[in-house]
Amino acid sequence: MTTTQQAAVIQMSSGPDRDANLASAASLLQSAAASGAALAVLPENFALMGARDTDKLAIAEVEGAGPIQEFLSRTARELNLWIVGGTIPLTSSDPGHVYAACCVYNARGERVARYDKIHLFDVDLPDGRGERYRESSTIAAGAPKPVVVDTPLGRLGLSVCYDLRFAELYRALVAQGAELLCVPSAFTEATGRAHWEVLLRARAIENLCHVLASGQCGSHSGSRHTWGHSCIIDPWGGVLADCGDRPGAALATIDAERRARLRHEFPVLGHRRLS
């Protein structure tokens, strides 16, 4: 691992056409690689934001095969780029449910990690607009265990969207050696406006980690609206890059030496008294 490398967070406004979404993702990943990124994070549901929750079942892939996984492997290899594949729907033992799988591919196109989303977004938003979400109706929760993978930028802890509200997951990732945290997301406009940045900065500060948070933005089929503002946060809580509210890629330098120095000089992680 070198002490400084570029990371990118990819922001999309995915729709109901898988192939069109993959073409958009390819263009944004190419741009990130051309700008010097060694690792890029795609958002949750990057390959499909359907009009109905059940739409994802029609494009679900089996472990290790399918157009989305082949796209991620091929693109990583062709661009010589590590890719965190947001989430893709992978089949479960129940044909009515899929796993929301976050898969990591190295620059040779090899899948080196998989994390299945643990916390499912089953909420009625308290904003008076009647927004209601029930991810558990089509998504199977993953096994409650942290997943950390070595990358050129450091040890990367995996999480997805609603996981961001559960600080204990990130403590478990740090206990496994995580130095960076990724949060591919599709945060709603209402919750994003209220909580997105403050939660990301909190996870960075309390764990002295870089945070790579990619998101969906804009309007989608089914009257869903997402917040955007994909960003990269440094271990002291500073926002290094922000995509705003439009599709694109935001890049920042990940300074591993500064991160290590902060952890040494401000040893909060060693002061914990509860496990």
Q: What percent of the chain has pLDDT over 70?
A: 99
Q: What is the pLDDT of residue 128?
A: 64
Higher-confidence residue: 1 or 100? Answer: 100
Mean pLDDT of the 247-264 span = 98
Q: What is the pLDDT of residue 217?
A: 98
From 56, 102, 103, 117, active-site residue: 117
Across the chain, mean pLDDT equals 96
Our answer to whether residue 56 is catalytic in this structure is no
Which structural domains are found in the chain, ordered by start? 4-266 (3.60.110.10)
Q: What is the pLDDT of residue 70?
A: 98
pLDDT > 80? residue 238: yes
By residue count, the chain amounts to: 275
pLDDT, tens digit (0-9, with 9 covering 90-100), for 39-66: 999 999 999 999 999 999 999 999 999 9
From 61, 102, 103, 161, active-site residue: 161
Mean pLDDT of the 193-203 span = 98
pLDDT, tens digit (0-9, with 9 covering 90-100), for 101-139: 999 999 999 999 999 999 999 999 987 677 899 999 999
pLDDT, tens digit (0-9, with 9 covering 90-100), for 170-184: 999 999 999 999 999
Our answer to whether residue 145 is catalytic in this structure is no
Mean pLDDT of the 200-225 span = 96
Confidence of residue 32 (pLDDT cuts 50, 70, 90): very high
Q: What is the pLDDT of residue 262?
A: 98
Our answer to whether residue 161 is catalytic in this structure is yes
pLDDT > 90? residue 1: no
